[in-house]
Structure formats: C-alpha cells, structure tokens
Structure 1
C-alpha cells in the first residue's frame, strides 16, 4: 500500500485512475477545486493549484509516496509544484501529451517523414523555459497548450528535488459517457445521421490509446515504475480518420459521407494534415505491455454508441 496524491482526477482518465489506485489497495488523496466530488474511500482536499499558498495550506503536513499530476499545463504551475511538493514525496508523475511533438507549435529536429517519434525528440532536460510569458491568462494558456506542456516537463525535470517522470499520452478514445471531449461522439453522430465529415485532402495517421489502458499505465508508472524522464503511451497500430469512421460504419450499417476541407478550414478532430505518431519502444522496454488499437477500438465504438443512444435527443431516440 502506498500513499498517493492525485492532482485533478475527478473526470475521465482521472476517475479511472483513482478507481485503479483504490482497487490496488493504495490510500488516495485527491486535490481539486471542488467542482466535482471525490469518490468514496478517497481523502478530498479542495484547493486551487494556481494559488500556491492555498495548496500548501490544504496539504498541511501530509507526505506521499508518489504524486500524480493530471493538470499541469505551464512552467509556472510546475515551478509551484516543485516548491509545494518538495520534501513531501520522492516521486512525481505528470500526465503529458503527444502534442509536445506537434511541429506546428515548435521548431523540432527533422526526422524522416512517417517516423514514429521517440521521447528524445523533445528532451525536457534542455528545453527552453519562459516564465515571463502570460501563463496565468486562460486564453493564452489554451492557445499554447503544447508549449505549456513542454515547458512544464522541463521545469520538473531540471528543478525538482524528487524523481520525475512524464507520461506522454496519445489521442485517447473510449469511456463512453465519461469522454467529455465529444470527439468520438462527433463522428458517431455524423455517420448515423448521414452528415458530411470534414477531412483533409490526404489525412495522415496517428497513434491512439484506450482510456483504460492509459489509466493502467499511469498506475504502473506511479506505483510500480522507478524510471524517470518521459515515456510515450500509445497502443500499437496507426489509425487515420477513415479507419475511425470505418469502425463506426461496421457497427451502425451507415456509410460515412466526407467533404474535403477548404484551404485554411478546420477539419474534424483526428483528421491530421501531418504524420503524427510516437514510438512506444521505451514503455515496452521498461516492462509495460501495450495493446493494439484493433483489440479495443470496436468496444470503444460500441460503448460510445450505447451512451449516445441512451441520451435524450441523440441518435436512436
């Protein structure tokens, strides 16, 4: 049994992660702003992580065997975490994202087209940090999501007095009604209603992971793993927007309709105009077994369909 603090953890992946931590017998302390209640069996501390003194006060004298940070989006938040959790924990795991590799948001070293990117593609040990940027502005933070994650990893890598690891999650699918992003629902609704789906002229593939598998990997990285640095979290097998809609069509009997996006027009989610894949070699070498997308995609679609057809005003009602 370990004492584990989860920052966030009251929605989607966080809920699944907390459930797994409890099932494994760990003592869980959940820290959030109180917008969502904590599940039974969890110690709940209400604090805004952007208020450093309030966060420290809420934690009191508590110490933890590990901390999982689900909501670190900027170097400012990372620096505060270093100060608040320094001396409280020997291990800190941050949920990061495939977006750190987004070439549209940073100048990155060139690699052959289509190469699955290893963690070394973005090395937080030498990534530049700009604390003077307006990270406290919500609009700026949202527009610079990728860079905020890169710089947060950099601060925690270089300044923390604890072992630090980041889990760079691929695009997440599954969870049915828990998936508040609405991206899979976007496709299901358009396929079932015969609405056109806007895609790029030549959509490129990317990597994905099931929400349950990501929660399992975070549990492993926190409670069982002793590695440091970034690790990519993605299932084997690429998907493009046509693969995704084909899986929906197979269960609905409806043929998807497509429309090519005009230059500069935004396409549907998961239609990419660039190859967008990560290598999961490091996760495997560290001992975490990863699935194939084809193993869980049909079930993720079925779960999403069940959730939509059960909702008033949704397809099937």
Structure 2
C-alpha cells in the first residue's frame, strides 16, 4: 500500500486515475482549491498550488511514495512544486502534453529526444499568472515546466529530483470529455454540417481516456525518469476520423470543407502530431490500437 498524492484530478482522466489508485489499495490524498471533493476514500487537502506557503501549510509533515501532478502548466508552478515536494516524495509524475512538440513538424513519429527538457530555456519572468498568456503559450509553458523538474528553476545541474513527464497524446472517449472535440465531429456529421479541414491533412496520435488513466497508474509504479510519450498505436488524419465517426452516427453525413488557412475543426491539423510510443513499450506498457477503440469512443460520445 502506497501513499499517493494527486494534485488536481477533478475531472476526466484525473478522476479515473484516482479511482484506479484507490481500487489498487493505495492511500490517496487529493490536493486542490476546494472546487470539488475527491472520490470517496481519498483524503482531501485544500490549497492553492500557486501559493507556496498555502501548499506547504496544507501538506504539513506528509510524505508520499508518488505525486501525480495533473495541473502543472507553467515553470512557476513547477518551481513551487519542486521546492515543496523535494524530500517529500520518491517519485513525481507530471502530466505533460504532445504540444511540447509543436515546433517539431516531422513526417514521422516524434520521440522524446526531440525535446530535451535539460536544454529548454526557462523564463520565470514571463506573465505566467495571466490566463490568456498561459493559454496562448500552452506548449511552451509545459516545456518550461518540464525543464524546471529536470534541472531546477534556475537551470542548475541539479537533476536529483525524481520526475517523469508524461507527454499525453490527444485524449478521446468517455461521456464526460469537457473539451468537446470528438462531440464536435459527432454533431456536425449528425446534422450534415461541414467539418473544416486543412488542404494538407496531417495525422495525429490519440489515446483513450481509460488508457491514459491506466498508463499514469503504471508510471507511478515504475522506476524510470524523464520524458515519456503516451499514445495508442496508429495515427489518424481528420478525414479518417470523420469516416469512423460517420460510421457510428446513424443517418449522419460526412461533409468535408477544405480550407487553406482555417480556422479548422478541432483535431484537424496542418502539422503532424504523431508521437513515438517506443520508449514506454520497451519499458513494459502495452498500448491499444486507436482504430480498435475509436468506434467505442464515438458511441460513448453519442450517449
């Protein structure tokens, strides 16, 4: 039985992660601002993760085998977490994103070494506290947050902090997908409205909501560190995605509208978002195939 701390985890795959940890017999402590209570069986600490004193005060003398940070978006947040949890945990798992590769437009699948967080420049002086700035620089915020966990907030040579950055592919499935991306396709195809796609339709990797929850539980129990990609096998372009959704929507019609400049429908990309999952596979995780689970994800969205 482990003591596991989850920061955030109020919705989507965070909820599934907590449920799985509890089912496995772990003692789970959830830290959030108090906006939502955790599932039954989990302890609850109310703290503002952006306020170092608040976080320290809430944690008290607690220590954890693993921390899973679901809501780290900036290097400032990472720097606070690194200071607060140094010496409190044997493993720190940050949920990162495929968006760290936003400048790596490769025709092939991109591996973790394409973005080495040890070489990413950290700028704590940028307006990371401004929500509009943070949203507009989502990938950069995640890159710099990874860099802080890898090297320290000042870019020092201290790599003793035992972190993992899980670079998550686009997550689909479940009836509670707050992003509405797959629902956009379902509703458009159901009503015969056009789905706007780029002239050059570039593919992406995906992962089911349950699969990423399972992956995070698995990572929590491993010993490796550093970045790791989390994606199901296979890539899909928007046209094939539409075909799968269309097959699952009774009476629907797939209408594609090609645009040179956008705005495009969500999950329609003019640059590639394909991640290589070979590292996680070598380490022992078995991913599913996107073409196998996607029809079920469409059904989940319909209901």
Q: TM-score over 0.5 for the alignment?
A: yes
* Distance of 2:268 and 2:49 partners within structure 1: 34
SS at 2:40's partner residue? coil
CA deviation vs aligned residue, 1:137-195 (integer Å, no higher than 9, x gap): 1111111100000000000011264311110000000111x210000111101110111
Partner of 1:282: 279
In the TM superposition, residue 261 of structure 1 has moved relative to its aligned partner by 2.2
8 Å Cα contact 1:205-1:277 kept in structure 2: yes
The whole-number CA distance in structure 2 between the counterparts of 1:65 and 1:187 is 41
- Per-residue deviation, residues 213-242 of structure 1 (Å, max 9, x unmatched): 1011100111x2100000000011111111
1:162 aligned to 2:166?
Answer: no
For structure 2, the 5+ residue unaligned runs are 153-158
State whether residues 93 and 166 of structure 1, in contact with CA within 8 Å, keep that contact through their aligned partners in structure 2: yes
Partner of 1:252: 249
Instruction: Please tell me the root mean square deviation across aligned C-alpha atoms, in Å.
Output: 1.2
Q: Quote the Cα distance in structure 1 between the aligned partners of 2:291 and 2:128.
A: 39
Looking at structure 1, the residues matched to 246 and 108 of structure 2 have their Cα atoms a distance apart, in angstroms, of 29
Among 94, 115, 119, the residue aligned to 2:112: 119
Is residue 129 of structure 1 aligned with residue 122 of structure 2?
yes
The match for 2:234 is 237
Equivalent-residue separation in structure 1 for 2:209 and 2:119 (angstroms): 30
Give runs of aligned pairs for residues 42-191 of structure 1, distance below 5 A. Answer: 42-103=42-103, 113-159=106-152, 161-176=160-175, 178-191=176-189
**Contact 2:7 2:69 (C-alpha < 8 Å) held by counterparts:** yes
Deviation at 1:196, TM superposition (A): 1.2
The answer to which of 122-131 and 244-253 deviates more is 244-253
State the alpha-carbon separation in 2 of the partners of residues 210 and 60 from structure 1. Answer: 36
Shift of residue 128, structure 1, vs aligned partner: 0.9
- Give the CA deviation at 1:37: 1.6
CA distance in 2, matches of 1:80, 1:260: 45
Aligned counterpart, 1:314: none
Contact 2:79–2:148 (8 Å) recurs in 1? yes
Contact 1:86–1:161 under 8 Å retained in 2: no
Contact 1:194 1:257 in 2 (8 A): yes
- From 209, 212, 216, the equivalent of 2:210 is 212
Provide the rounded CA distance (Å) in 2 between the counterparts of 1:252 and 1:99: 30
Take 2:273 and 2:139, find their aligned partners in 1: how far apart are those partners? 14
Residue 312 of structure 1 aligns with which residue?
A: none
CA contact (8 A) 1:236 1:291 kept: yes
Q: Give TM-score, length-normalised by structure 1.
A: 0.91
Contact 2:164–2:227 under 8 Å retained in 1: yes
Q: What is the rounded CA distance, in whole Å, between the counterparts of 1:120 and 1:161 in structure 2?
A: 20
Tell me the residue number matched to 2:20: 20
Contact conserved, 1:203 with 1:273, CA < 8 A, in 2? yes
TM-score, scaled to structure 2 = 0.95
1:203 CA displacement: 1.1
Where does the alignment leave 5 or more consecutive residues of structure 1 unmatched?
Answer: 307-317
Q: Does 1:199 align with 2:192?
A: no
CA contact (8 A) 1:201 1:260 kept: yes
Shift of residue 243 of structure 1? 1.5
Instruction: List 4+ stretches of structure 1 deviating above 6 A.
Output: none
Q: CA deviation at 1:34?
A: 1.3
In 1, the alpha carbon distance for the partners of 2:260 and 2:53 equals 49
